[in-house]
Chain A
Amino acid sequence: MLSVTANNGHLHVKFELPAGMHALFGASGAGKTSLFRLIAGLDRDDTARVLWSETPIHQLPPHRRPIALAPQRPHLVPHRTVREQVKWIASGRDSDALVRWARALSVEWFWSRHPSRISGGELQRASLLRALAADRPVLLLDEPLSQVDRPLRHLIMATLKELLPSDLILFTTHDWEETEAFAEQVVWITDGRSRPPASPVGLLPDSPPTARLMGYIGSIAAHPGHWLIHPRLIRPGSFPDEGPVIAGQLTAARLSPTLHQYRFESDAVWLQWTGPPAPRAAGSAVTLIRPPRAEFSLVPATPPQG
């Protein structure tokens, strides 16, 4: 169990997480990195309380905390090869497991290179391997694979979730799909304020900013009364038994290769929005799952004039 509380000028956080793989979800600048630095002990703050297995660790210097951190922009030592640095961190611990991880992260083929000779994505993978080599109970991953291409990133995340090399893995992300796919619990952080951890599965947005962050499209501010709609909430066919749903017709018009204009019409609502091409929008008979909060009130079924 990792328990974190802090109350300073920038961060107002309080949460407890059990063992497992969890996400710290928030927009850029929400305070994710600051919070990680606080947990790892790189930044000191008198209000911070960090407990691991009910033992306070916030008084300890970074190297004595049971925590390893892989940052978003790693700084490896320039005069040593990747292999030398990983071995230095491992200092003789289980090398078989490390070799397996090196293979899983595809680090093997640039093992013997210096950091200046590898790409940004490779550097991140090397840094992640180094963090795994530290072999600590808590692993903090600060968007550790943001420069790694999506398929490999998801493969690595899935491997981490399956093998769980540390008792607790907490990764930061602003990708809701990743959060849903790999996190057991998610801690939302908005403007430095945390919300209690919750399971990300089926979690729906409760305000326009969170909706936008979760990948919903459209804008309430620009068009009062309109819905924000996630492409995944639009399903072909009708599902009358699935709760608050609305059946209607969806049409899509291509504005550019990356932008489509969508129009949803039913007896009750009329909606129009632009967004990235959504494969599921192809069907004409679709269902909208209705978000639970009042902000997402429906507009009368009369298209605007003109």
Chain B
Amino acid sequence: MMRWVTHTVGGLAAVILLVPVVILGFQTGPHALLATWNEQTSRHAMAVTLQSGLVALAIVGLLGIPTGVALNGVRHRAWRWLWGTALLIPLLMPPLVLGLVLAFVLGPATPMGQWFHTANTFTGLVLAQVYESLPYFVMAYWGYLQALPVARQEEAAVLGKSPWQIFWYVVWPTSRPGLAMAAAMSWARIVGAFGAPIVVAYHPSGLPVAIWIRLEEAGLPAALALAAWLLLIALPIPVLLGGGVLDAQRYRE
């Protein structure tokens, strides 16, 4: 009975989730894809998305991994609750609002904007992507770390291993599935980042902004063709990372 319910509901959810993908597939044939590829601006947008996305993903990882580990080490419930809530607040902001607020920091008239040229530059785009995706990474990685038995680390500590040794031998290898999950989620946010980049870094346009421009200038079919490309170039990373998630059960015991 249980099995029947979960399988039916799960199947239904999968169908609902895949509807937009199927529509996109039907609406864009190989001809439209090829035509879009042949345009200089499309290829430029793809390159921008891939380059800025990979840089943003690296930054998100560099900031997110230590943050997740630090949060996992917080012992007091009250502090854990406080930090967990604090991280959720940026997620509550619509990305467009996040962009509007970020303009106060990264805009051309601000010190950051003047010294680091963060407005309408590659740097600005990367920063906007980082802002949109970092909370997802930290929440996913922290959540995974919390599900791992802390006793493994304690036992290594009482046998003389330093926190660094324990991190490299115990935490890092066993948290890889969580890392893969967090990276896949934040990658999805990075390549789809639209609200913050359109305010902070309209140029250079990545795919989401380019799709918007295309919709305004050339109509829906042309926009959908570019959207299909977004899906195609974003897909390899989650596919690769998905393999890493498969081991999760093994590391939780």
Taking Cβ atoms with an 8 Å cutoff, the residues of A that contact B are: 40-42, 61-63, 65, 67-69, 71, 73-79, 88-89, 116, 127, 130-131, 133-134, 136
Contact = CB atoms under 8 A, between A and B. Distances in A.
Interface of B: 149, 151-152, 154-163, 169-170, 173-174, 250-251, 253
B157 A62 contact: yes
B151 A71 contact: yes
Given A71-B151, A116-B253, A77 B169 contact: yes
Contact of A63 (B152, B160, B169, B253): B160
Given A77-B173, A78-B251, 8 more contacts: A42-B154, A61-B157, A63-B158, A77-B156, A88-B161, A89-B160, A131-B159, A134-B160
Contacts of B149: 75
B151 A75 contact: yes
Contacts of A41: 157-158
B206 to A, nearest CB: 38
Contacts of A68: 158-160
Given A63-B160, A63-B162, A89-B160, A79 B250 contact: yes
Nearest to A134: B159
Nearest to B176: A79
A77 B157 contact: no
Contact of B158 (A67, A76, A116, A133): A67
A74 B163 CA distance: 19
A276 to B, nearest CB: 35
Nearest to A133: B159
A201 to B, nearest CB: 31
Contacts of A75: 149, 151-152, 155, 253
B251 A130 contact: no
B155 A71 contact: yes
Contact of B253 (A61, A65, A78): A78
B152 A136 contact: no
B247 to A, nearest CB: 9
18 contacts: A63-B161, A63-B162, A63-B163, A68-B158, A68-B159, A68-B160, A69-B155, A69-B159, A73-B151, A76-B155, A78-B250, A79-B174, A79-B250, A89-B156, A131-B159, A133-B159, A134-B159, A136-B160
Grouping DSSP codes into helix (H, G, I), strand (E, B) and loop, the B interface class, with mixed when no group exceeds half, is helix
A88 B152 CA distance: 14
Contacts of B174: 77-79
Contacts of B154: 42, 62
Contacts of A116: 250, 253
A89 B250 contact: no
Contacts of A79: 173-174, 250-251
Nearest to B158: A69
A287 to B, nearest CB: 48
Contacts of A62: 154, 157-158
Max chain A Cβ within 10 angstroms of own Cβ: one of B156, B159, B160: B159
Nearest to B247: A79
Contacts of A67: 158
A134 B162 CA distance: 13
Max chain B Cβ within 10 angstroms of own Cβ: one of A40, A62, A136: A62
A63 B156 CA distance: 8
A40 B170 CA distance: 19
A295 B71 CA distance: 55
Contacts of B160: 63, 68, 89, 134, 136
Nearest to A132: B159
A89 B251 contact: no
A78 to B, nearest CB: 6
Nearest to B152: A75
A216 B173 CA distance: 50
Contacts of A89: 156, 159-161
B152 A76 contact: yes
A21 to B, nearest CB: 19
Nearest to B159: A134
B169 A88 contact: yes
A127 B151 CA distance: 13
Q: Which are the 4 A-B pairs with shortest beta-carbon distances?
A: A75-B151, A69-B158, A134-B159, A62-B157
A150 B194 CA distance: 67
Nearest to B163: A63
